[in-house]
Structure 1
């Protein structure tokens, strides 16, 4: 049967909504907790299909439980976190008797990280998107995260603007980032000001870099993004031999005047490999 936790091994922190004047308590709660509920069954089915079946799923922000219940049809166990105590109580009551669902009244960002493989799936609050993504990337047992985010965020992280963000490049050896579907803002209530998207972050079956190389790669990328030379080529020439940089850029297919954000993550890996393997010195 469904369980409702507010303490124990599950997070139990919660924000309080004031009782000041103005709109009603639920309107204030929606603003404080950044609540936009998914109401389109087709979009719900898209999220579930994109996530796929899993033994264990953690859901940030269960809300009214539309996605929670849909996930429970394909996943063995769904643990949903809801920081709004009223919604958490309603969802626990609604899912009582559903053996695959556990409702936790608490902050997902303070959730205990499972030691067994798990996935994260959710229509997440826009206001804490970056924090939830960071939580996912730090979890050693995470297999994938399927998140409904603002469209702009998903485009930024997946290179859909033609530019690549620092976070995506840094994590590329371990994770793939994909924008799966765009979601019209009218699929939510209240209707947000912008459209959304289904963002997939999936751990690669085998990392593209060994453990011993990851710290070096991170330092390499962070140096390149610091923009000390105007372009990536100019920046790297300040740290590496000119001939080595030229050879590496030729191998990666990157022009010498390319701005750092336009360098594809796969090209970053080639640059790192060439400049740290001594490949250039043998030509």
Structure 2
């Protein structure tokens, strides 16, 4: 980044505006906007959280169908537009602030959002890394590459495995970059998230789940024997592989969410709690 561009970015941030590389691209296609709300099954009893509301194209539709809408937007200019547009709408609250630091509602809520590309992972962590929150389901438009990563059968990111213990994450369809303004360099995708009725691991164990998967996926392409050798003894690993129907050479990143549930249950049953891998303290990004 040149000095001139850096100074402009700093000036915008000082005014409370997001930097240009935040990756926020607005949607105006009404057919697509209605499809997103329909996919989320928004009803008259739902509280909806919209992250990155922009100028309110999606907010307007949500306010017509939901019981209450919390529209979060960082850009001061967009907030002014939103405030004027929704001034007479009693069920919609406009919140100006950093999406990554928003306080999630205490009651059950639904998320319907077209999120900024640059902070996709932090937003997903906000919503999914604490299964004891009120988040029930959501439809999120995000960069296609991120959507593929979150739904891929081969998993390299520990937090994705952890999320899948409590939530189903499904790739719905791709969305052309032509549907946005300004037009992004890549395509987007529609992702549906739903809380599992029967979680694979109890919510109370969520820190222990993160500790296990962070340890095991340090080398996602490593054989299961190597990845889990510091957690289980050789006899325990032999029994575990039999339960998973996996060989010694099968890579740890290929485990399905159900298989991870088996790995965790095996650890709880056979490994003393002081020996469980501990969750890393993650710095805010």
Map 1:42-81 to 2 at 5 A: 42-54=31-43, 55-81=46-72
Q: Does the alignment pair 1:152 with 2:145?
A: yes
Q: Unpaired runs of 5+ in structure 2?
A: 1-9, 271-285
Q: Which residue of 1 is the match for residue 174 of structure 2? A: 182
Give distance in 2, aligned partners of 1:225 and 1:43: 37
Give distance in 2, aligned partners of 1:229 and 1:180: 27
Check the 8 A contact 1:57/1:77 in 2, yes or no.
Answer: yes
Check the 8 A contact 1:157/1:164 in 2, yes or no.
Answer: no
Map 1:171-250 to 2 at 5 A: 171-227=163-219, 230-250=222-242
Give distance in 2, aligned partners of 1:277 and 1:199: 35
Give distance in 2, aligned partners of 1:39 and 1:148: 13
Give distance in 2, aligned partners of 1:227 and 1:153: 20
User: After superposition, what is the alpha-carbon deviation per residue over 1:197-221, rounded to whole angstroms, capped at 9, x for unaligned?
Assistant: 1122322233222345444333222
My pick for the range that moved more, 238-247 or 47-56, is: 238-247
Distance 1:227 1:111, change over 3 A: closer
**Distance apart, 1:97 and its partner CA:** 1.6
Q: Does the alignment pair 1:104 with 2:69?
A: no
**Distance apart, 1:186 and its partner CA:** 0.7
Number of aligned residue pairs? 256
User: After superposition, what is the alpha-carbon deviation per residue over 1:111-150, rounded to whole angstroms, capped at 9, x for unaligned?
Assistant: 2321111122110111111121122124711112321110
Distance 1:18 1:119, change over 3 A: closer
Q: Which residue of 2 is the match for residue 23 of structure 1? A: none
Give distance in 2, aligned partners of 1:17 and 1:88: 15
Check the 8 A contact 2:158/2:210 in 1, yes or no.
Answer: no
My pick for the range that moved more, 165-174 or 148-157, is: 165-174
Equivalent of 1:128, from 119, 136, 141?
A: 119
**Distance apart, 1:36 and its partner CA:** 0.8
Q: Unpaired runs of 5+ in structure 1?
A: 1-14, 20-27, 279-283
Check the 8 A contact 1:59/1:79 in 2, yes or no.
Answer: yes
TM-score by length of 2: 0.80
Aligned-pair RMSD on alpha carbons?
Answer: 2.7
**Distance apart, 1:30 and its partner CA:** 7.4
TM-score by length of 1: 0.80
